Amino acid sequence: MEVGSAPSFLTCEFLTECLRNEKGNQDIIIENYMSSPAVPPGENFNSSPFRVEIFFKTHAEDIDVHFTSIIIKSELPEGNMKDVSNTFIASETLFYTKFIPEANKLTNTQLTPKSLFSPNSAIVVLEDLKGKGFKMANKSKMLDFDHCRLYFTTAATLHAVSFAVHKSNPPFIESIGNEKVFSNDLASVSLLVHNLIRNGFNILSECTDKINDFKKYSKLIKDASPHIWDLLVEIHKPNPMLNTLTQGDPWPCNMMFKYDGVGKVCDIRLLDFQLVRYSSPVNDLIWFIWTSATHQVRRHRLNELYHVYVETFNNKLRELNCNERLTYEYVKSEERRLSPLAMYLMAIFPPLNSENSISNLEPFFTKENEDEEAQNIYRKYYDKYFCIHHLPKYLEQLEIVGVFDYLQQCNFSCK
């Protein structure tokens, strides 16, 4: 029995094949199942994840009814985001079914949920981490240092392991890590990102102009807007120095945490690899920092996190018999090179990671002369509270790490 608007492929036959192959038992019989959305609206924009609770018997004569819960990720049913996300499906499937088995040969660290057998290669089936005590953090409250440290160590492990796998199979890693967002060859996603930049930067510039300590950056933000896309395309290309597989968009909705008996965070799993990318590993760190970390962490403990990352990355490479090493200085130089990404994320993310955030991206698939709805959305989230309590802190943090200095050196006003 299905509850909610589950996809049409989600049938008893589909689930029976999943369980029989996963458990190596062709006699399994499903007695009943229930499906429901795995996350609330606004937590996932690229797919439709469902939690499926299954009651089954191991054979026809079994008097006991057993229980398991799985997560099924299917494509979006309709809309512009369906066209965008269709380009992601193959890479995420390959990541779970091909890369993770290779990664598991090299590390004992559990990086992701376990991937389960799927009768359809376009459908990702995963273990349900909720049953193991994992929870998704509140994206609007952001993550404190302990959560950030745990993410940085896990990301470093993922990056180092992928670096080692790349040594033995470069074409595979580079093919699943092809660019899926910041490319001039992707018309639908380009339309979306251009809209987010145009409207996010416009409202950010307006609001910055009203803050005495930072109004000097208002024109810079406005002047940067037409050029940010080209900068983002360039900085997401593979780096001549060092590249790994990266998650692509690490933020609280793409990871789950586990807590001990006193409420201290103790474990993490990374979720959602639709945007997996082969590029500088620091891309992931910048994305996480500007979408997920608290102001206190960004303001006071970034360098500590970078040292944690470098140490973990190098220790893992040493374990994997790789001679290459990362330095703190390199990470800092990449932080500066990726300044356009930090600026982009700060400008466009308020409607996505605020309390009562938007639930879909459809209003942002419009051209420049059709921006009224998108602008109104941004004005709603750049409200008085945000501009008093959050925006000055964001602007201060961008200033401290040199983002505005980097953009000023781009000399947009002369272009």
What's the confidence (pLDDT) of residue 411? 81
* Cα diameter, the chain: 79
CB-side neighbour CA atoms (13 Å) of 24: 0
| Among the listed residues 294, 249, 291, the one whose alpha carbon sits nearest the alpha carbon of residue 272 | 249
| Rounded-to-integer distance, Cα 235 and Cα 280, Å | 9
For residue 25, give its domain range: 12-41+49-73
What's the confidence (pLDDT) of residue 414? 61
Q: Are residues 61 and 140 in the same domain?
A: no
What's the confidence (pLDDT) of residue 104? 94
- The tens digit of pLDDT for each residue in 253-312 reads 999 999 999 999 999 999 999 999 999 999 999 999 999 999 999 999 999 999 999 999
Q: Are residues 142 and 27 in the same domain?
A: no
Q: Are residues 284 and 368 in the same domain?
A: yes
C-beta separation of 200 from 348 below 8 A: yes
| Rounded-to-integer distance, Cα 212 and Cα 220, Å | 15
What's the confidence (pLDDT) of residue 403? 98
Give the lowest-confidence range in 66-75, 300-309, 360-369, 375-384: 360-369
The residues, any chain, with a CB within 8 Å of residue 285's CB and separated by 6 or more, are 152, 155, 305, 306, 309, 331, 335
| Among the listed residues 340, 327, 325, 322, the one whose alpha carbon sits nearest the alpha carbon of residue 402 | 340
CA angle (48, 50, 52) in 5-degree steps: 160
State the total domains in the chain. Answer: 2
Give the lowest-confidence range in 73-87, 137-151, 156-170, 356-370: 73-87
Of the pLDDT bands very low, low, confident and very high (cuts 50, 70, 90), residue 40 is confident
| Rounded-to-integer distance, Cα 51 and Cα 35, Å | 6
| Torsion from C-alpha of 334, 337, 340, 342, nearest 10 degrees | 30
Of the pLDDT bands very low, low, confident and very high (cuts 50, 70, 90), residue 250 is very high
pTM of structure: 0.95
Tokens of 222: 């406005």
- The tens digit of pLDDT for each residue in 224-233 reads 999 999 999 9
Q: Are residues 260 and 164 in the same domain?
A: yes
* Neighbouring-strand partners of residue 293: 143
Work out the mean pLDDT of the chain and round it to a whole number: 94
What's the confidence (pLDDT) of residue 204? 98
DSSP code at position 24? T
What's the confidence (pLDDT) of residue 415? 59
What's the confidence (pLDDT) of residue 80? 81
Mean pLDDT over 100-114 rounds to 94
**Is 93 contained in some domain?**
no
Q: Are residues 18 and 166 in the same domain?
A: no
What's the confidence (pLDDT) of residue 366? 85
Residue 90 pLDDT greater than 90, yes or no: no
User: CA separation (Å) from 141 to 294, 301, 356?
Assistant: 8, 18, 12
Give the lowest-confidence range in 23-37, 88-102, 155-169, 379-393: 88-102
**Is 287 contained in some domain?**
yes
Q: Are residues 262 and 151 in the same domain?
A: yes
**Is 188 contained in some domain?**
yes
Mean pLDDT over 178-186 rounds to 94
